[in-house]
Amino acid sequence: MTLLFIGTTELLLIGGIALLIFGGKKVPEMMRGLGKGVKSFKEGMNEPLEEKTEEAKDETADPKPEDEAGQ
Torsion of CA 15, 21, 26, 29, to 10 degrees: -40
Domain count, the chain: 1
**51 assigned to some structural domain:** yes
Angle between the N-to-C axes of helices 8-22 and 26-60, in degrees from 0 to 180, rounded to the nearest 10: 120
pLDDT tens digit string along 31-62?
899 899 999 998 888 887 777 777 777 667 65
Residue 39 falls inside a structural domain:
yes
Number of neighbours of residue 22 by Cβ within 10 angstroms: 13
**pLDDT score, position 61:** 63
54 vs 9: which has the higher pLDDT: 9
- Residue 35 belongs to domain spanning: 25-55
Would you state the pLDDT for residue 50?
72
**Mean pLDDT, residues 13-42 taken together:** 89
pTM of the model: 0.48
Q: Is the confidence at residue 21, as pLDDT, over 80?
A: yes
C-alpha distances in Å from residue 37, one per residue of 26, 28, 29:
17, 14, 12
